[in-house]
Amino acid sequence: MNRQISLSPSLMTMDLDQFKEQITFLNSRVNSYHIDIMDGHFVPNITLSPWFVEQVRKISDTPLSAHMMVNDAPFWVKELIKVKCDYICFPSEVANGVAFSMIDDIHAAGLKAGAVLNPETPISMIEPYIDLLDKVTIMTIDPGFAGQRFLEGTLRKIVELRKMREEHGYGYEIEMDGSTNKAHWKMISDANPDVYVIGRSGLFGLTDNIEDSWNQMVREYEECTGFAFDNGLVQSAR
């Protein structure tokens, strides 16, 4: 059995003193980069920005996916459109009344629209516009900071989203975000998302060298899931 997965390193968790080195190494191995944008209000942390998207674009043609954790989602959508971020994913919790207009603006710019569900947020929150989405991101930890407790129950939403997609012919990718590491590889793989966001505990923090960290991540994934990486992108049963 073979199945295609996508890997999306969370750049909030990378070593910024090795920014170019790490991006250059990962460019040929991953499918996208995950860029967290926090405003200090939706969550207490403040992290990356549309300016950071521009900096990554200087050294990478890999698609960039912005995960907004912000209160004023329409403002940040417009800013991310300006820098042509490939995927613009808004928090579903603040999208009531503006979701359709944001999705229309993103698509009109030739970009892809996504919605993010926090752990407590049900899929029903996005059902009015789920058929328009290119990506749905399931948070498997509380948003705002890396290293928080993995919430296994959130994986049920991944299974349900896959079932809905098959039944209705929806076109969204299913992404999971949070604590993707050795302790959870097996249960995440069983839920079968399309996109794995990997951060400090699963990649960047494993060693002091990005190549060694990548190789360790692959070994841990294979040991935990029983699947083998083929060029870092395709899983094939061993």
Note whether 157 and 175 are within 8 A (CB): no
The residues that are catalytic are 36, 177
Of 154, 227, 155, 197, nearest in space to 12 by CA? 197
Q: Is 184 labelled as part of a ligand binding site?
A: no
How is residue 214 written in tokens? 């990548």
Residue 6 is assigned to a ligand binding site: no
The amino acid present at 118, given as its one-letter code, is: N
Write down the residue that tokens 């923090």 correspond to. 205
Query: β-strands 112-117, 135-139: how paired?
Result: parallel
144 labelled as ligand-binding?
yes
What is the three-class DSSP state of 167? Answer: helix
Q: Write out the two tokens for 12.
A: 């909030």
d(CA 158, CA 176): 8
67 a known binding residue? Answer: yes
Please tell me whether 100 is known to bind a ligand. no
Residue 110 labeled ligand binder = no
Nearest-angstrom CA–CA distance, 174 and 137: 6
124 appears as a binding residue in the annotation: no
State yes or no: 147 annotated in a binding site. Answer: yes
Q: What is the DSSP letter of 93?
A: G
Annotated binding site for substrate: 67, 144-147, 177-179
- Going by the annotation, the residues of the binding site are 34, 36, 67, 144-147, 177-179
Binding positions for a divalent metal cation are 34, 36, 67, 177
